[in-house]
């Protein structure tokens, strides 16, 4: 209908074609300019959002790496204590049993208390903002790093805690646990000394395996996180001291 009227008016000489075409061109041009300006502003907003995400994720990596190193230190102490507990608990002498119980008590009381809150990467994944990271290599590396954290580091922690509780419960078959909390002479709390020296070390071996596996995965995690940290520094020009100074905690 529009084009029929336009052709009729054009044939009757009632339209200045040049002016009409120019008007249409200006309308289209203004629309394109508006679209381009909107895209530019959206691009700036996305870039600011990405910058904030990258900085937050970088801090997540640094904090996680510190936790990994601290946990590895504690885990290696646990391994030494568990091995000493296994070896000395089989020697039916007061001093050996005392040291064995002390080492095992160190593992139980040291414990591992750690939360695994959602990371910035998790938030980006849940909101779809992960698409803001255009570098697929960076995105893939972050995905594998945080997946390793959830699949191994977190799982190992739960398994180690479960085994520690199981061993403590098993120890209750041979000793008065309440007594052990209130005396330095741990051997005096044994209710079945012979059974303890003959059988208890068998119950500790699964805990030793859990501790060794945990240490192995923590070392792997440290390597993954080191690589991810270095990659973010290289790709986005981050400097550790600058990012840390900009965090709210330092204000």
What does the mean pLDDT of the chain come to? 87
| CA dist 60 → 64, 65, 122, 247 (Å) | 6, 8, 11, 12
pLDDT score recorded for residue 41? 80
Q: pLDDT in tens for each of the 251 residues of the chain? A: 544 555 555 555 555 666 666 677 777 877 888 787 777 787 788 889 999 999 999 999 999 999 999 999 999 999 999 999 999 999 999 999 999 999 999 998 877 667 788 999 999 999 999 999 999 999 999 999 999 999 999 999 999 999 999 999 999 999 999 998 889 999 999 999 999 999 999 999 999 999 999 999 999 999 999 999 999 999 998 888 777 766 665 44
| CA dist 160 → 84, 145, 229 (Å) | 18, 21, 27
Tens-place pLDDT, residues 77-96: 999 999 999 999 999 999 99
| CA dist 172 → 57, 83, 106, 128 (Å) | 45, 20, 16, 51
CA 134, 140, 143, 146 torsion-angle sign: negative
Q: Considering its fold, how many domains does the chain have in total?
A: 1
Q: Are 146 and 117 in contact (CB under 8 A)?
A: no
- Nearby residues of 86 by Cβ (< 8 Å), 6 or more positions away: 201, 204, 205, 208
∠100-82-209 over CA atoms, to 5°?
150
Tens-place pLDDT, residues 100-154: 999 999 998 877 667 788 999 999 999 999 999 999 999 999 999 999 999 999 9
Residue 185: DSSP 8-state = -
pLDDT score recorded for residue 67? 92
State residue 111 phi and psi, 5-degree precision.
Answer: 55, 180
Per DSSP, helices labelled H in the chain are 2-11, 17-89, 94-110, 120-127, 136-148, 154-171, 177-180, 193-195, 201-236, 240-245
State residue 133 phi and psi, 5-degree precision.
Answer: -85, 105
Task: Return d(Cα 77, Cα 112) in angstroms, integer.
Answer: 12
Task: Return d(Cα 90, Cα 204) in angstroms, integer.
Answer: 12
State residue 190 phi and psi, 5-degree precision.
Answer: -70, 130
pTM given for the model: 0.80
Domain span at residue 35 reads 2-250
């Amino acid at each position: 209908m529009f084009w029929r009227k336009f052709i009729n008016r054009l044939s009757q000489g009632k339209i200045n074609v040049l002016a009409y075409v120019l008007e249409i061109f200006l309308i289209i041009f203004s629309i394109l300019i508006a679209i381009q300006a909107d895209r530019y502003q959206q691009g700036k907003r996305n870039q600011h959002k990405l910058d904030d995400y990258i900085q937050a994720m970088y801090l997540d990596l640094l904090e996680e790496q510190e936790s990994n190193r601290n946990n590895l230190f504690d885990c290696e102490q646990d391994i030494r204590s568990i091995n000493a507990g296994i070896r000395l608990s089989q020697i039916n002498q007061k001093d050996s049993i005392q040291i064995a119980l002390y080492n095992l008590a160190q593992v139980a009381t040291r414990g591992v208390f750690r939360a695994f809150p959602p990371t910035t990467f998790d938030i980006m994944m849940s909101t779809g903002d992960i698409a803001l990271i255009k570098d697929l290599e960076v995105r893939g590396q972050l995905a594998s790093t945080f997946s390793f954290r959830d699949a191994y580091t977190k799982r190992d922690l739960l398994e180690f805690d479960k085994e520690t509780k199981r061993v403590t419960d098993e120890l209750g078959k041979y000793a008065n646990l309440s007594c052990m909390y209130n005396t330095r002479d741990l051997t005096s709390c044994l209710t079945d000394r012979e059974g303890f020296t003959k059988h208890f070390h068998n119950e500790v071996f699964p805990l030793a395996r859990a501790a060794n596996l945990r240490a192995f995965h923590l070392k792997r995690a440290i390597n993954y996180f080191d690589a991810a940290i270095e990659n973010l520094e290289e790709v986005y020009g981050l400097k550790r001291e600058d990012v840390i100074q900009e965090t709210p905690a330092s204000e």
